[in-house]
Structure 1
Amino acid sequence: MATHGAHPARTGWVGWIYFGAIVMVAAGIVQVVNGLIAMAESGTTYLLPSGMAVQVGFAGVGISFLVMGAVLAVAGIGVMSGKTWARAVAITLAALSVLGNIAFFAAYPVWSAIVIALDLVVIYALVAHGRELRHG
């Protein structure tokens, strides 16, 4: 009896997948807002304690935040919709988050440890149970 078209039964790990997807959408929205703020602050002049005026341009940073935020939000929505490409993007972004938090572990050990643990749980949920979200 072949089960090629059958979808696996949903387990409790689906909740972790939805959790990761919702965090991605929320983080994406925050990144878009950060990008807009960075672009609005572009060309701002700051006065250093030494009395020197420095003009700072954040346009490039703002655009990168906008793009990353859009990718995060769209991938999060895609994960909730059961899209395979979105799972791949989410796994990649979570792995990059793990690496980034390893790099900053000395500066923020508790926060980095929490984020790494959550990233690893979401990666496991997406890899091992991601197919459970596929819709017919």
Structure 2
Amino acid sequence: MTTTQAPRTDHSTKFAWAAGLMTFAAVMLTLVGVLDIFRGIMAIAKDDIFLNTRNYVFEFDLTGWGWIHLALGVVAVIVSVGLFQGATWARVLGVALAGLVIIANFLSLPYYPVWSVIMIAMSGFIIWALCVARKEDFGDSWDR
């Protein structure tokens, strides 16, 4: 009877993958934040560029949506700075914030449909990248 051993993985390879995913998430969250800031400014300053939909269940004033997206964008940029530094709090907040961005873009889907779908997809990749790297992949450098 032979025993099979799991293939050994090099610690530096795991660390490189985890750090790469964290950097990917930080860059994507920065992009989502900046784009949400621009979307918020557009909705606040000149809301006639957005599509108006009648009888939408989650109907808000477009200026209100602008403020929501502006706030989410500013917080996303701040959290992405923490992700670049490898902070654990930023990972947790990054996942929560990406979830809120998905919800906000789903609710504002009729106003700017293609853009909302793109933002939902980007936020999904952020959540994936922040959740796939485990604490043991970082070794001693995790606690920053």
The normalised TM-score by structure 2 is: 0.57
Alpha-carbon distance in 2 for matches of 1:98, 1:37: 19
Q: Which has the higher helix share?
A: 2
Alpha-carbon distance in 2 for matches of 1:125, 1:31: 26
Which residue matches 1:39?
44
Instruction: Return the letter of the residue paired with 1:37.
Output: M
Contact 2:83 2:90 in 1 (8 A): yes
Where does structure 2 lack aligned partners over 5 or more consecutive residues?
Answer: 1-10, 53-59
Which residue matches 2:25?
20
Which residue matches 1:119?
127
Alpha-carbon distance in 2 for matches of 1:11, 1:60: 42
Q: 2:83 aligns with which of 74, 79, 86?
A: 79
Q: Secondary structure at the match of 2:30?
A: helix
Q: Please say which of residues 80-89 and 60-69 is displaced more in the overlay.
A: 80-89
Instruction: Return the letter of the residue paired with 2:92.
Output: A
Instruction: Report the aligned-residue RMSD.
Output: 4.2
Alpha-carbon distance in 1 for matches of 2:78, 2:34: 10
The normalised TM-score by structure 1 is: 0.60
Of all paired residues, the percent bearing the same amino acid is 22
Task: Count residues with an aligned counterpart.
Answer: 115
Alpha-carbon distance in 2 for matches of 1:26, 1:73: 8
Which residue matches 2:97?
93
Q: Which has the higher strand share?
A: 1
Contact 1:75 1:89 in 2 (8 A): yes
Instruction: Return the letter of the residue paired with 1:85.
Output: W
Alpha-carbon distance in 2 for matches of 1:63, 1:31: 10
